[in-house]
Amino acid sequence: MATPISGGTAFDFGAAVQAQVVQPQTETATTAPARQPAKLESAGDTVKLSAGAQVRLLNSQGDTIPEIVINTALSTQAVNSYLGLAQASAPQAAASSK
């Protein structure tokens, strides 16, 4: 036969509760100033994207061409070029036939 474990079962978490021990705080005459932890820069890696990669990233995130032009300080022609879009050519005037 199995011997029961004293202090409750696995489902009776409250049975083994113990009293918390309170440690009195001692005061000293010479209290050292608390040291502030050094502020560290983010430990994450950063990557500098090329202009073309930045344009493609912004486009894939749903930015419009005018937004990309403003955010990257590139010309509309450069943004269209990085996205592989051809500039719309000026419409040709219809030839008049008499």
Dihedral angle, C-alpha 46, 78, 61, 42, nearest 10 °: 10
Structural domain boundaries in the chain: 51-82
The predicted structure's pLDDT at residue 45: 87
User: How high is the mean pLDDT in each 10-residue block of the chain (98 residues)?
Assistant: 60 58 65 64 82 95 94 94 79 62
C-alpha to C-alpha distances, 52 to 4, 28, 45, 48, 70, nearest whole angstrom? 70, 63, 20, 12, 15
